[in-house]
Amino acid sequence: MDMTRIRERMVEHHVTGRGIRDQNVTRAMLMVPREKFVAPGSEEFAYEDAPLSIGEGQTISQPFIVALMLEKADLDAGDKVLEVGTGSGYASALMSRIAGHVYSIERHERLALQAKERFEKLGYHNIDVRVGDGSKGWAEAAPFDAIIVSASAPEVPSALKEQLVLGGRLIVPVGRGEAQRLKRLTRTGAAAFEEDDLGGVLFVPLIGEDAWTATHPMYT
């Protein structure tokens, strides 16, 4: 299989074909081999515009939604960014090809370790991965120019808002099940944020102290 050609076709159909215009994002999507981030045996489905299972009941997100989140985060070369919910590591890998440094936090140790190994193998050296509860952010590395949350929260976690620079962007799905909305908050002052609704989405739950509890009946 010629993965480069298949990757180009995916970007053409599911990314630029669906309105993503940010060339930083399309360039990163052409560079990062998504087939290296899916579970063994799923490589042939890596370039379909769909989420895929990665174990632990979690998924690698649909390419179009990742592209949309990254475009709305408006990433620049020198940016310091945080991803909450590393999962396979694919979205963090994309961000690492655009921004200066990526911090990525994942609650499942096995997924975090696998993502770390992938980054090492691919030579992506500007990503730090940590196992933990990302609903509290990553205070030691804050503030961030952009934060991407790849799981849906009951409401926007306050620590994440506080860890943005002035002008920083937080992209976060909020809500339960099919009622989720993707939001963008832009910090406009010490306690002031502009909020945009980016549409309906379907993410796995963000589980943590400032999120859903692991024992919530919806999510056990």
Contact string 94-113 vs ligand SAM (x = CB under 6 A): -----------xxxx--x--
Q: How many residues bind ligand SAM (CB under 6 A)?
A: 26
Does 59 participate in binding ligand SAM (rule CB under 6 A)?
Answer: yes
- Using CB under 6 A as the criterion, what x/- string covers residues 146-165 for binding ligand SAM? ----xx--------------
Determine the interface stretch with ligand SAM among 21-29, 87-95, 159-167, 184-192 (rule: CB under 6 A): 87-95
104 is catalytic: no
| First CA to last CA distance, the chain | 39
- Other C-beta atoms closer than 10 Å to the C-beta of 18 total 12
CA distances 31 to 3, 57, 123, Å, are 11, 27, 12
Residue 122 DSSP SS3: helix
How far is residue 47's CA from residue 40's CA, in Å, rounded to a whole number?
14
Q: Hey, what amino acid is at 133?
A: D
CA distance 181 to 44: 30
Among residues 42, 61, 104, 150, which one is catalytic? 61
Measured from the CB atom, the residue of 134 and 168 that comes closer to ligand SAM is 134
Residues paired with residue 42 on neighbouring β-strands, in sequence order: none
Among 15, 29, 60, 99, binds ligand SAM (CB under 6 A): 60
Residues found near ligand SAM in the complex (CB under 6 A):
58-61, 84-85, 87-88, 90-91, 105-108, 111, 133-135, 150-151, 203-204, 206-208, 211
